Amino acid sequence: MKGKANRAVVFRASKECAPGEMEGFLREALEVFSALEDAYRSGTVSVLAERKPDPHADAAKLTGLVGRIVGKHLITHAELDQFL
């Protein structure tokens, strides 16, 4: 999950949703957001900003077909920030 201002992107690593799976994925994402909001409002959790390791660096270490497949599905932090 990544967010900026009043927007958020929810994703599951290595998972692409088919059109027929979107409704279930969105329902699940809403449940996650609702649980996070409840926990935040109750004071049981705080919001932290954390930058994860760069998956592009890991993908660059992969060679051959696997490297091409993994690299094809990755976006950069800058691309995601621009989208948000």
Q: Mind listing the pLDDT tens digit for each residue in 22-49? A: 899 888 888 888 887 888 788 776 665 5
Kindly report the pTM of this predicted structure. Answer: 0.47
Q: What is the 3-state secondary structure (H, E, C) of the chain?
A: CEEECCEEECCCCCCCCCHHHHHHHHHHHHHHHHHHHHHHHHCCCCCCCCCCCCHHHHHHCCCHHHHHHHHHCCCCHHHHHHHC
Task: Please name which of 7, 29, 3, 25 lies closest in space to residue 16, comparing C-alpha atoms.
Answer: 25
Q: Mind listing the pLDDT tens digit for each residue in 67-83? A: 777 777 777 777 777 77
- Cα angle: 27, vertex 25, 59; to 5 degrees: 145
Give residue 20's pLDDT.
92
